[in-house]
Amino acid sequence: MEHNPTFPQYISHIKKSLSGEIESLQSNEEHSLEVAKLAKQFASEFGMGEWGYVLGLLHDKGKEKRQFQEYIRDVNDIPGHKGYTQEGKAHAYVGALIARQVYGKQATQLFCNPIASHHRGLYNYHELGKWLTKSIPEEIDIITERPILNRPPFKISGDELHHLSRMMFSCLVDADYLNTEFFMDEPTSQLRGCHTSLQDLMPLLELYLDKLQLSSVQSDVNKIRQKVQACCREMSMNPRGFYSLTVPTGGGKTLSSLVWAMQHAVHHGLKRIVFAIPYTSIIVQTAAILKEIFGEEAVLEHHSNFDPNAINNPVHRHQAKLATENWDYPIIVTTNVQLFESMFSHRPSDCRKLHNLANSIIVLDEVQTLPTDFLQPIVDALKTYRHLFGVSVLFTTASQPILSGIIEGCNPKACFSGLDVVKEIIPRDYVLHDRLRRVHLEIDDAASAYDEIADRLAMHKRVLCIVNTRNDAREIFTRLPQEGLTVHLSRMMCPRHVGQTIEKIKHALSNDTDEIIRVVATQLIEAGVDIDFPVVYRQEAGLDSILQAAGRCNREGKLEVATTRVFSLSKEHLLHGKIVFANQARLNMKNVKDWFAPETMTEFFRQYYSQMETFDKEGMKDLLYNPKEICFEDASQKFRLIEDGGVSVIVNTGESMALVEQLKTEGMSYALMKQLSQYSVTIHKGDFEKLKRFGAVEEIIESIFVVNDRAQYDECIGLRLDNHWLSETLII
pLDDT tens per residue, range 571-605: 999 999 889 999 999 999 988 999 998 899 999 99
Is residue 27 domain-shared with residue 57, that is, in the same domain? yes
pLDDT value of residue 250: 75
Helix (H, G, I), strand (E, B) or coil at 719: strand
On whether residue 553 sits in a domain, the answer given is yes
Say if residue 5's pLDDT is above 90.
no
pTM of the model: 0.89
Q: Which long-range contacts (CB under 8 A, 24 or more apart) does 434-437 make?
A: 434/596, 435/220, 435/224, 436/221, 436/224, 436/248, 436/249, 436/250, 436/251, 437/248, 437/561, 437/596
Q: Of 413, 430, 447, which closes a domain?
A: 430
Predicted confidence band at 608 (pLDDT cuts at 50, 70, 90)?
A: very high
User: Could you give the number of structural domains in the chain?
Assistant: 4
Mean of pLDDT values over 539-565: 88
Is residue 380 domain-shared with residue 247, that is, in the same domain? yes
Is residue 472 domain-shared with residue 336, that is, in the same domain? no
The larger pLDDT score, comparing residue 427 to residue 673, is at: 427
Indicate the pairing of strand 423-424 with strand 439-447.
unpaired
pLDDT value of residue 726: 47
On whether residue 536 sits in a domain, the answer given is yes
Is residue 446 domain-shared with residue 559, that is, in the same domain? yes
Is residue 492 domain-shared with residue 386, that is, in the same domain? no
Q: Which range of residues forms the domain containing residue 696?
A: 646-731
The domain that holds 509 is classified in CATH as 3.40.50.300
Say if residue 710's pLDDT is above 50.
yes
Percent of the chain past pLDDT 90, that is, above it, reads 63
Predicted confidence band at 731 (pLDDT cuts at 50, 70, 90)?
A: very low
On whether residue 73 sits in a domain, the answer given is yes
Is residue 465 domain-shared with residue 511, that is, in the same domain? yes
Is residue 468 domain-shared with residue 426, that is, in the same domain? no
On whether residue 408 sits in a domain, the answer given is no
pLDDT value of residue 321: 63
On whether residue 634 sits in a domain, the answer given is no
Q: Of 430, 451, 469, which closes a domain?
A: 430
Is residue 165 domain-shared with residue 304, that is, in the same domain? no
Largest alpha-carbon pair distance within the chain? 90
Chain segment 488-544, per-residue pLDDT in tens: 999 999 989 998 999 999 999 988 778 999 999 998 887 667 788 999 999 999 999
Percent of the chain past pLDDT 70, that is, above it, reads 94
pLDDT value of residue 501: 93
Say if residue 670's pLDDT is above 90.
no
End-to-end alpha-carbon separation of the chain, Å? 76
Say if residue 556's pLDDT is above 90.
no
Angle at 279 between CA 554 and CA 358, to 5 degrees: 120
Phi-psi region of 402 (alpha: psi -120 to 50; beta: other; left: phi over 0): beta
Is residue 251 domain-shared with residue 339, that is, in the same domain? yes
Mean of pLDDT values over 13-28: 91
pLDDT value of residue 644: 57
Spatial distance between the Cα atoms of 52 and 190, rounded to a whole number of angstroms: 23
Helix (H, G, I), strand (E, B) or coil at 10: coil
The larger pLDDT score, comparing residue 465 to residue 215, is at: 465
Is residue 33 domain-shared with residue 56, that is, in the same domain? yes
Chain segment 141-197, per-residue pLDDT in tens: 876 567 888 888 899 999 999 999 999 999 999 999 999 999 998 888 887 877 899
Q: Of 430, 448, 483, which closes a domain?
A: 430
Predicted confidence band at 732 (pLDDT cuts at 50, 70, 90)?
A: very low
On whether residue 175 sits in a domain, the answer given is yes
Predicted confidence band at 312 (pLDDT cuts at 50, 70, 90)?
A: low
- With residue 22 as reference, give the H or E element that holds it: strand 22-27
On whether residue 616 sits in a domain, the answer given is no
On whether residue 389 sits in a domain, the answer given is yes
pLDDT value of residue 29: 94
Helix (H, G, I), strand (E, B) or coil at 275: strand
Is residue 141 domain-shared with residue 247, that is, in the same domain? no
Predicted confidence band at 661 (pLDDT cuts at 50, 70, 90)?
A: very high
Is residue 426 domain-shared with residue 454, that is, in the same domain? no
Chain segment 278-296, per-residue pLDDT in tens: 887 788 889 999 999 999 8
